[in-house]
Amino acid sequence: MRLFIDSANLDEIRTAASWGILSGVTTNPTLLAKEDPTVDVRERIREIHRLVGGHISVEVVSTDTAGMLREAEEIVSWLPEAVIKIPMTAEGLAAVRQLSRQGIPTNVTLVFSPAQAILAANAGASFVSVFLGRLDDIGNDGVRTLADICEIWERQGLEVEIIAASLRHPMHLVEAARAGADIATAPFRVLQQSLKHPLTELGLQAFLADYHRLQEAQARTRQVPLVV
């Protein structure tokens, strides 16, 4: 399972990219709206892509098919590598179908059920983003839904890539991998939590302290004059 970061914050993206774990980035209008409004959105997205390379999902904000298609063409004119993120609506599916005919990759977002995922796949989506956390938030089981979709994909031999999205904690990441998602897109906080373990920190402290003690002992040994 590949890892993407779900963020539009350059510091977070730069830090996670420096760990060498990222294969891409997903953004959305909410994430972009959290950042400095004086920075041009195109420039921010291009900079994000320069930092990570690989996949970059850029979301449209039109709600009609023609508007989505116009936006998609505009986005690929300044970022040809962009994957166009399209909401799971009737108008969105029509746009996905058209973009797939034009060879422009799409990521159908806001997918909450296996039925929606099947429709997105039939429209020609390249990726489907299944939102785990938001399902959990309303008392549903996000991991179960993702696992159902992965099982259907296996059974049907579908190649559309499944992105586990809306992750809230490291166990979402683990369960997404267990279910068979191709990709997990996680906020910086979840990546950071996944990196750390108290036993790793304690273990490292002990290794360093022991090595220090060994060096001191060796230094003391060297100071002892040889008795012949």
Three-state SS for 131-171 is EHHHHHHCCCCHHHHHHHHHHHHHHHCCCCEEEEECCCCHH
Give the β-pairing of 106-111 and 55-59.
unpaired
* Residue 9 and residue 188 in contact, taking contact as beta carbons nearer than 8 Å: yes
Catalytic member of 24, 69, 84, 85? 85
Any catalytic annotation for residue 196?
Answer: no
Which is nearer to ligand E4P, 8 or 95 (by Cβ)?
8
Tokens encoding 27? 């953004």
Which is nearer to ligand E4P, 150 or 163 (by Cβ)?
163
Tokens encoding 79? 């970022």
* Residue 79 and residue 115 in contact, taking contact as beta carbons nearer than 8 Å: no
Which is nearer to ligand E4P, 68 or 220 (by Cβ)?
68
Cα 52–chain centre separation:
12
Active-site residues, by number, are 85
